[in-house]
């Protein structure tokens, strides 16, 4: 079959499932069919095509796509059509992949359930009453339901790994700086990373290989050689040391999650890994540290939405100050406003030392716990999230309980490390459970190796 046939079949399935899932904000048949046609043309001309050529992909709607709306899940960007393309989608287009649409997310990637989207709620394909996780819930649901083969998400505190766990797919946040953030709408710039979703570890490894690499347009982008990650996909774990993070098996962890993750650890042992208990005593300060640093950075990044430069503007305001105020009051949702208020408060004169500076110091201590751990092990494991997918609406009234779902993923962002979530079982409601594998800086190879051998 031709790439155009495959793209058409993918679009048909996507559209057929969309009324139940609402995983996409924009479906892009024109771009998909044009990209597929380009692949067929290359084949007809006898050219070599790569592994991603003709592969239908979903792109989180906080990645800029030229000429295609990029809303970031926010009403304030409802009409925004970027005049430029992100580096990752440029690379994927060059690799011949076929973008079928832009996936739903929590507004500005702030949330853990995709319920904060300014447009629609996405549904978990395993239970339509449950959330798909977030903020990349649309991408995770779309891959789980085969609306596309792979997808991109972004992860600031867990937004790839937690929805991957909730939807039973593989999701990875790479080392900070491995993937260019050019064209990613900024949430918290020192934490944001773009990463892959796939049904298998191999798919995620192939997709990461295609998007990683130095980019002069992102000043935090690392200058490192990108290996072919698939060469690390080996069947056994001989010589690999795996550390189990003790502190993650405490209070608040669902029994079913603990059991499934322990079972997975037993299997890693059977595959030849040496298992050790590892203590990360400062891990538990990750959540409060994150909720100072991320809103602080967000409050600065979101200052640009003033009704002048992008998207929505309140047209009836009497003067410019009231135009700013009304634009932001009407354009932003409740969670975004909460974060802006938290961030501006933490950064304000007189409080900076007590909150922001303190949080940065704790961030360093958390990183030190990881550094110590990686002196004795290659990869750390823990649950991805303390629970399985929860019912929609069950946490919307209580932001703290929502924030808790990122307890185990956030420290990994604070330390800038690669983390991957891999399906490892189901609870008694048949909802998927994820195990998180964390590697040292730029040791994606070891994370993929452990993930692949287990899978």
Using CB under 6 A, which of the segments 156-164, 210-218, 272-280, 352-360 binds ligand GLN? 156-164
Q: Answer yes or no whether residue 294 interacts with ligand GLN by CB under 6 A.
A: yes
Residues 6+ apart with CB under 8 A from 298: 108, 110, 187, 188, 336, 339, 340, 343
Position with the least CB separation from ligand GLN: 159
Task: Give the residue, chosen from 28, 65, 97, 112, that forms a contact with ligand GLN under the rule CB under 6 A.
Answer: 112
Output the six-digit token pair for 121: 């709620």
Backbone angles phi, psi at 442, to 5 degrees: 60, 20
Using CB under 6 A, which of the segments 13-21, 155-163, 255-263, 306-314 binds ligand GLN? 155-163
Q: Answer yes or no whether residue 113 interacts with ligand GLN by CB under 6 A.
A: no
Output the six-digit token pair for 92: 């994927």
Which of 122, 136, 139, 159 is labelled catalytic? 159
Q: Answer yes or no whether residue 296 interacts with ligand GLN by CB under 6 A.
A: no
How many residues belong to the site for ligand GLN (CB under 6 A)?
13
Task: Give the residue, chosen from 406, 407, 412, 444, that forms a contact with ligand GLN under the rule CB under 6 A.
Answer: 406
Question: Smallest gap, in angstroms, from Cβ of residue 158 to ligand GLN?
Answer: 5
Q: Answer yes or no whether residue 157 interacts with ligand GLN by CB under 6 A.
A: yes
Alpha-carbon span 124 to 23, nearest angstrom = 9
Q: Does 159 qualify as catalytic in the annotation?
A: yes
Q: Answer yes or no whether residue 333 interacts with ligand GLN by CB under 6 A.
A: no
Q: Which is nearer to ligand GLN, 363 or 449 (CB)?
A: 363
Nearest to 109 by CA among 143, 133, 81: 133
Q: Does 256 qualify as catalytic in the annotation?
A: no
Task: Give the residue, chosen from 74, 86, 124, 156, that forms a contact with ligand GLN under the rule CB under 6 A.
Answer: 156
Q: Answer yes or no whether residue 61 interacts with ligand GLN by CB under 6 A.
A: no
Alpha-carbon span 67 to 60, nearest angstrom = 15
Nearest to 286 by CA among 158, 410, 102: 410
Which of 135, 139, 299, 421 is labelled catalytic? 135
Task: Give the residue, chosen from 122, 159, 175, 248, that forms a contact with ligand GLN under the rule CB under 6 A.
Answer: 159
Question: Smallest gap, in angstroms, from Cβ of residue 157 to ligand GLN?
Answer: 3
Q: Which is nearer to ligand GLN, 71 or 156 (CB)?
A: 156
Q: Answer yes or no whether residue 135 interacts with ligand GLN by CB under 6 A.
A: yes
Q: Does 113 qualify as catalytic in the annotation?
A: no
Q: Answer yes or no whether residue 115 interacts with ligand GLN by CB under 6 A.
A: no
Q: Answer yes or no whether residue 299 interacts with ligand GLN by CB under 6 A.
A: no
Catalytic machinery residues = 60, 135, 159
Q: Which residues bind ligand GLN (CB under 6 A)?
A: 109-112, 135, 155-159, 187, 294, 406
């Amino acid at each position: 079959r031709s790439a155009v046939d495959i793209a058409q079949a993918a679009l048909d399935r996507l559209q057929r499932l969309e009324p139940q899932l609402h995983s996409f904000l924009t479906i892009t048949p024109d771009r998909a069919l044009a990209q597929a046609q380009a692949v067929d043309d290359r084949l007809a001309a006898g050219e070599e095509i790569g592994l991603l050529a003709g592969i239908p992909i979903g792109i989180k709607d906080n990645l800029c796509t030229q000429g295609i709306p990029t809303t970031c899940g926010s009403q304030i960007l409802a009409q925004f059509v970027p005049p430029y393309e992100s580096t990752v989608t440029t690379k994927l287009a060059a690799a011949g992949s076929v973008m079928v649409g832009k996936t739903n997310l929590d507004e500005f990637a702030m949330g853990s359930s995709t319920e904060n989207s300014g447009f629609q709620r996405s549904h978990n394909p395993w239970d339509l009453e449950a959330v798909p996780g977030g903020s990349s819930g649309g991408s995770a649901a779309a891959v789980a339901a085969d609306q596309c083969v792979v997808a991109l998400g972004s992860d600031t505190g867990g937004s790839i790994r937690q929805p991957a766990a909730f939807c039973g797919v593989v999701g990875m946040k790479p080392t900070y700086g491995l993937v260019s953030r050019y064209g990613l709408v900024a949430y918290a710039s020192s934490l944001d990373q773009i990463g892959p979703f796939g049904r298998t570890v191999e798919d995620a490894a192939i997709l990461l290989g295609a998007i990683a690499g130095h980019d002069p347009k992102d000043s935090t982008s690392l200058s490192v050689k990108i290996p072919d990650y698939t060469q690390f996909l080996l069947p056994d774990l001989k010589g690999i040391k795996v550390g189990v993070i003790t502190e993650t098996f405490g209070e608040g962890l669902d029994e079913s999650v603990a059991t499934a993750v322990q079972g997975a650890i037993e299997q890693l042992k059977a595959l030849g890994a040496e298992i050790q208990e590892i203590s990360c005593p400062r891990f538990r300060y990750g959540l409060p540290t994150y909720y100072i640093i991320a809103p602080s950075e967000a409050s600065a990044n979101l200052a640009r939405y003033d009704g002048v430069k992008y998207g929505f503007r309140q047209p009836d305001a009497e003067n410019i100050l009231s135009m700013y105020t009304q634009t932001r009051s009407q354009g932003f949702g409740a969670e975004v406003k909460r974060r802006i208020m938290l961030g501006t408060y933490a950064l304000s004169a007189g409080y900076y030392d007590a909150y922001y500076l303190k949080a940065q110091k704790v961030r360093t201590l958390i990183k030190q716990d990881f550094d110590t751990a990686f002196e004795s092990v290659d990869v750390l494991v823990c649950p991805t999230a303390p629970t399985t997918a929860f019912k929609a609406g069950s946490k919307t009234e209580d932001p703290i309980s929502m924030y808790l779902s990122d307890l185990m993923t956030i420290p990994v962002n604070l330390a800038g490390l690669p983390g991957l979530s891999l399906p490892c079982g189901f609870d008694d409601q048949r909802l998927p459970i994820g195990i998180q594998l964390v590697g040292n800086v730029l040791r994606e190879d070891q994370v993929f190796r452990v993930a692949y051998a287990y899978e």
